[in-house]
C-alpha cells in the first residue's frame, strides 16, 4: 500500500490522493524495542505516536488503524492532540456496555459474532491477556509452534475456512511469522493484550471519540453495528461495509483498502 498511497499517479490515482505515510511499529513487535516495564498500553503508545508526529514536524495529519492499531488510533483521537484532524478505523468498536433489551438487526448480528468469537476463536486472546509470558516462552522455543499460532490467527481473520492461503499469499504470511521468530517477540508482542485488558476492564468499547471518524467494515472481520456507531463516534463522517476482505484487510486486499482510505479522506476534505 505504500506506493499507491505515496505516489498515487503511478497507481491509477491523482496527485490529490497523495499521502506522506508514517508507519510506526508497536512496542514489542517486529523491529521496535521490547518494553521493560508495565504500562505500555494503547494510551501510552498513542502518546508516543503523537510525540513522534510532533518530532517529525507534522502540524496536520490523520491516523488509521486496524486490530491494535485501531485502539491506538482511537486513543490518539481521544487525546485530541494539536494537528490530528480525523481517524479511519477498520476495526471499529461499537458495542455499548449496556445492551438494550430490544436489538436491531445489525446490533444482533454484531453481538452474535462477538459471542461466537469469544466461545470458539479467542483462545489466543485469553492466553495472551492472562499469561503472555508463559505462552511467549513456549512459542519462542519452536518455530513450528510460532508458525501454527499465527497461522491459526490468519485463518480466523480471513473467514475461518481452514485455508487462509486462499485469501493471503503464503509467502506474505511466512514473512509475518518469520518476523516474530527472528526478532524473538512472541512474549513481548503478547504482553500488549494484558496491558489492554487491564486498561479496558469490562468495557465493550474504548469510549467516545469526539474527533471525526471514518469506518470501513470488512465482511470476514468482527462486524460493527452502524446503528450503534454514533454513540461512540458522534462525528462519524464515513461508513462503508464492503463485500470482501477480513481482519487483515491491508494485507489481504491492499488495493481495495487503499481506495477506502482515499475515499474516506476525500470525504473528510470535502466536509
Residues identified as active-site: 67, 193, 247
Task: Name the DSSP class of 240.
Answer: E
**Selection from 81, 66, 75, 91 nearest residue 40 by Cα:** 75
The Cα 2–Cα 249 span in angstroms is: 14
What's the burial of 269, exposed, middle or buried (CB within 10 Å: 0-12/13-18/19+)? exposed
The Cα 42–Cα 28 span in angstroms is: 12
The Cα 75–Cα 72 span in angstroms is: 5
**Selection from 100, 99, 75, 23 nearest residue 213 by Cα:** 75
On whether the CB atoms of residues 22 and 83 are closer than 8 A, the answer is no
| Grid cell locating 120 | 470458539
Amino acid at each position: 500500500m505504500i506506493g499507491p498511497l505515496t505516489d498515487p499517479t503511478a497507481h491509477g490515482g491523482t496527485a490529490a490522493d497523495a499521502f506522506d505515510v508514517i508507519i510506526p511499529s508497536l512496542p514489542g513487535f517486529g523491529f521496535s524495542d521490547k518494553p521493560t516495564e508495565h504500562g505500555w498500553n494503547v494510551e501510552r503508545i498513542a502518546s508516543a505516536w503523537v510525540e513522534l508526529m510532533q518530532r517529525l514536524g507534522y502540524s496536520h495529519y490523520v491516523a488509521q488503524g486496524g486490530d491494535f492499531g485501531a485502539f491506538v488510533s482511537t486513543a490518539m483521537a481521544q487525546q485530541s492532540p494539536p494537528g490530528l484532524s480525523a481517524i479511519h478505523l477498520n476495526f471499529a468498536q461499537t458495542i455499548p456496555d449496556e445492551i438494550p433489551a430490544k436489538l436491531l438487526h445489525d446490533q444482533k448480528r454484531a453481538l452474535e459474532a462477538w459471542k461466537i468469537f469469544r466461545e470458539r476463536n479467542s483462545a489466543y486472546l485469553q492466553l495472551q491477556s492472562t499469561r503472555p509470558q508463559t505462552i511467549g516462552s513456549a512459542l519462542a522455543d519452536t518455530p513450528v509452534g510460532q508458525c501454527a499460532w499465527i497461522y491459526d490467527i490468519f485463518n480466523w481473520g480471513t473467514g475461518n475456512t481452514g485455508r487462509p492461503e486462499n485469501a493471503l499469499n503464503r509467502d506474505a504470511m511466512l514473512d509475518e511469522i518469520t518476523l516474530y521468530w527472528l526478532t524473538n517477540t512472541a512474549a513481548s508482542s503478547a504482553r500488549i493484550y494484558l496491558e489492554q485488558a487491564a486498561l479496558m476492564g469490562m468495557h465493550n468499547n474504548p469510549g467516545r471519540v469526539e474527533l471525526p471518524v471514518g469506518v470501513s467494515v470488512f465482511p470476514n472481520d468482527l462486524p460493527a453495528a452502524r446503528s450503534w456507531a454514533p454513540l461512540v463516534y458522534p462525528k462519524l463522517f464515513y461508513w462503508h461495509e464492503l463485500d470482501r476482505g477480513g481482519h487483515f484487510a491491508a494485507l489481504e486486499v491492499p488495493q481495495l483498502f487503499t481506495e477506502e482510505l482515499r475515499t474516506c479522506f476525500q470525504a473528510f476534505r470535502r466536509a
